[in-house]
Structure 1
């Protein structure tokens, strides 16, 4: 599973990345976390508000920091 965190690298982006990693581990799923900071790539996903969460190419969230539990439900 590839989890992409979309954003400039702000504190919210870091927190979302940490929560995504914890959720994947809790679900027992192997995941590679990729940080996407290029705004052209972020816009290509249709995300205009960061941080964004993309799992295997599908945008699951934009503009908010999801908790570990919320991400776990989406996985």
Structure 2
């Protein structure tokens, strides 16, 4: 599973990355988590508001910090 956290390094972006890693540990799902901070790459996903969350190439969240339950659901949908 490929997970990308899109954001330029703001506190909300760091929070999303932290929550994603916590959820992955809790549900024991292996995944490659990457932080994408390059504006050009973020825009390629069509994300105009960060933080963004991309799972297996699909934009799942943009412009907000999802809670752990939301993240878990999104990851399980892509398993």
TM interval, shorter chain, is over 0.9
Task: Tell me how far 1:60 sits from its aligned partner.
Answer: 0.4
Correspondence 1:13 to 2:13: yes
Partners of 2:25 and 2:69 in 1: CA distance = 12
Give the stretch that moved more between structures: 56-65 or 27-36. Answer: 27-36
Structure 2, unaligned runs of 5 or more: none
Task: Tell me how far 1:68 sits from its aligned partner.
Answer: 1.2
4+ long deviations beyond 6 Å = none
Instruction: Say what the alpha-carbon RMSD is for the aligned residues.
Output: 0.8
Partners of 1:6 and 1:24 in 2: CA distance = 17
What is the TM-score when the length of structure 1 is the normalising length?
A: 0.93
Structure with bigger helix share is 2
Correspondence 1:47 to 2:51: no
What is the TM-score when the length of structure 2 is the normalising length?
A: 0.89
1:29-68 equivalent positions in 2, closer than 5 A: 29-68=29-68
